[in-house]
Amino acid sequence: MFFVKGAKTTRVTQEKRIIHKSLWGNELKDKRRTETALKAGEDRAILLGLGMVLSSVMMYFVICITMVRAYADSVLTDETTCTFLNSTLTKDINCSYSCGSDCWKISKYPCLQVYVSLNATGRIGLLSHNEEMLDVSTECFYVPKCQKDHTALRVLIQNISEHLKMHQQVTCYHDSSEHQGSILLNRLYGSTSVFHSLFWPSSMLSGGTLIILMVKLTRYLSILCEQIGKVPK
């Protein structure tokens, strides 16, 4: 009887050990799977953060060499009020439009000259729509896109002239040092447009940096918890 009970006890103990090892092995496998999945997720999060940072740097580069540079180089920055004096349709200016592959034809548009007076200094000068139009022509207020129907271009310029006559006083921009005699009605690259252009890459840079820092902090806290758990009580 003693040997039978001893054999049964040994068998039960062995079965318990086998079950314990099996459960422990499954727990280790689950733990390793979880750690592998977490590590893969953290790696993807870091890659996402790095991608956001690199994209924001590229956006900064493009914006700085275009918009910010044009904003910094502009001298027509002083805002004041201009009084509209008169507008005149002067000579027709030739322009070319595309009629197909390697095909160009000549059309024309009237040059609209708008004279205004600066209320701050009393100086009289020609008004330009924006920096882009000023680069194309220093005499004409607005340079339309060339097209075949020059009559439609004339009607467009006349409508602009009539619209300007409805506003006796408008906000304009000029050079207070008078090194540049032109006057602008609108600025393409003002402080507001530069701010809005830099806002999104700044947000992307901040978000990417925050993601990387959060992943690094999570890993550090995980390692710290493991080290605390291994300390004998």
Which amino acid is present at 126? L
Looking at the 3D structure of the chain, how many domains does it have? 1
User: What contacts 129, CB < 8 A, 6 or more positions away?
Assistant: 141, 142, 184, 185, 186
Q: What's the pLDDT band for 44 if we cut at 50, 70, 90?
A: confident
User: How far is the C-alpha of 188 from the C-alpha of 179, rounded, in Å?
Assistant: 20
Q: What's the pLDDT band for 122 if we cut at 50, 70, 90?
A: confident
Q: Specify which of 29-33, 105-109, 192-196 reaches the highest per-range mean pLDDT.
A: 105-109
**Residue 8 placed within a domain:** no
**Residue 103 placed within a domain:** yes
**Residue 46 placed within a domain:** no
Q: What's the pLDDT band for 107 if we cut at 50, 70, 90?
A: confident
- Are 56 and 208 in contact by the 8 Å Cβ rule? The answer is yes
Structural domain including 139 reads 83-194
**Residue 209 placed within a domain:** no
pTM: 0.59
